[in-house]
Structure 1
Amino acid sequence: MTLDTATLSPQDALVAIMIAISMSDENVRTAELVAIEQAVNYLPIFAGYDVDRIKKVSQITTDLFEEEDGLDALFGMIRAALPEHLYETAYAFACDVAAADGALYQPELRLLEEIRYELKIDRLHAAAIERGARARHLTN
């Protein structure tokens, strides 16, 4: 599968969103990788998902991050693959991965803002999703 012919399944699109938010600050942390792994291994949306595809989706995401308009292309692929009723799910996964290491960095916040815009997430719904992620990842 090349970048030009890459087609993502809805689950691939969710994985791509999680990988993108993890890569956004150029420092992929173990806690973020664990959050991605746990989501894929335990959540019903990924039932039957071929985990070997994660590497391929990761490579596509990495390649797109290196291109000038790669983020736009990534969002185009994600919107093409993801049914609209899963847009908030994608945002929730992005928030969970961003919050997994206990800190939000400026590049992550900017990408979350871009995800909200690209997936047309209502600000009130986004705030609720963000609050849920924050609550799930508090340490003390």
Structure 2
Amino acid sequence: MTQEAPHPWTPADCLVAVMVAISASDENIRTAELIKIQSAVNNLPVFGDYDIDRLTVVSQTVLDLFEQEDGLAALFGLVRDNLPERLFETAYALACDVAAADGMILEPELRLLEEIRYELSIDRLHAAAIERGARARHITL
């Protein structure tokens, strides 16, 4: 599969793609998840120079890939090819935050989080810490 994007993905594009993927994994992109993605892009230093217009392009690419038989593998290929390894844990943390944003993590989201851990070689202990942080940030009274 070849990349369909008009130009190569930036590391920030990859982070957006992972967030969109986790949101779309249960085939129901919730408002809370969209707000979490938008908030991350607007507020986190890693997105400081991000061209906000790329958000729509990357999101559509992810959704298009999800409709293809080997789309998830292609998505992970794009991410691994364009995201520096030092940002792999950042990608996982953002995915956990988006998954937890609506107060429930459904089975498809859990499966994709497991796949992200595997594809990005996230250490079990680091993954547990990241997941615990996401739970703590998104707990309700």
**TM-score category (smaller protein):** over 0.9
AA of the residue aligned to 2:110: L
Name 1:136's counterpart in structure 2: 137
Moved segments of 4+, more than 4 Å: none
Name 1:121's counterpart in structure 2: 122
Name 1:36's counterpart in structure 2: 37
TM-score in terms of structure 1 length: 0.97
Of stretches 5-14 and 109-118 in structure 1, the one that deviates more from structure 2 is 5-14
How much has 1:7 moved relative to structure 2?
1.9
How much has 1:12 moved relative to structure 2?
0.1
How much has 1:6 moved relative to structure 2?
5.3
Cα deviations by residue, 1:81-136 (Å, 9 ceiling, x for unpaired): 10000000000000000000000000000000000000000011000000000000
- What is the distance in 1 between the residues matched to 2:49 and 2:85? 21
- What is the distance in 2 between the residues matched to 1:48 and 1:119? 24
How much has 1:20 moved relative to structure 2?
0.1
CA contact (8 A) 2:5 2:61 kept: no
AA of the residue aligned to 2:114: E
Unaligned runs of 5+ in 2: none
AA of the residue aligned to 2:59: S
Unaligned runs of 5+ in 1: none
Name 1:27's counterpart in structure 2: 28
RMSD of equivalent CA atoms = 1.1
CA contact (8 A) 2:92 2:116 kept: yes
Name 1:49's counterpart in structure 2: 50
TM-score in terms of structure 2 length: 0.96
Name 1:82's counterpart in structure 2: 83
- What is the distance in 2 between the residues matched to 1:6 and 1:60? 12
- What is the distance in 2 between the residues matched to 1:68 and 1:3? 16
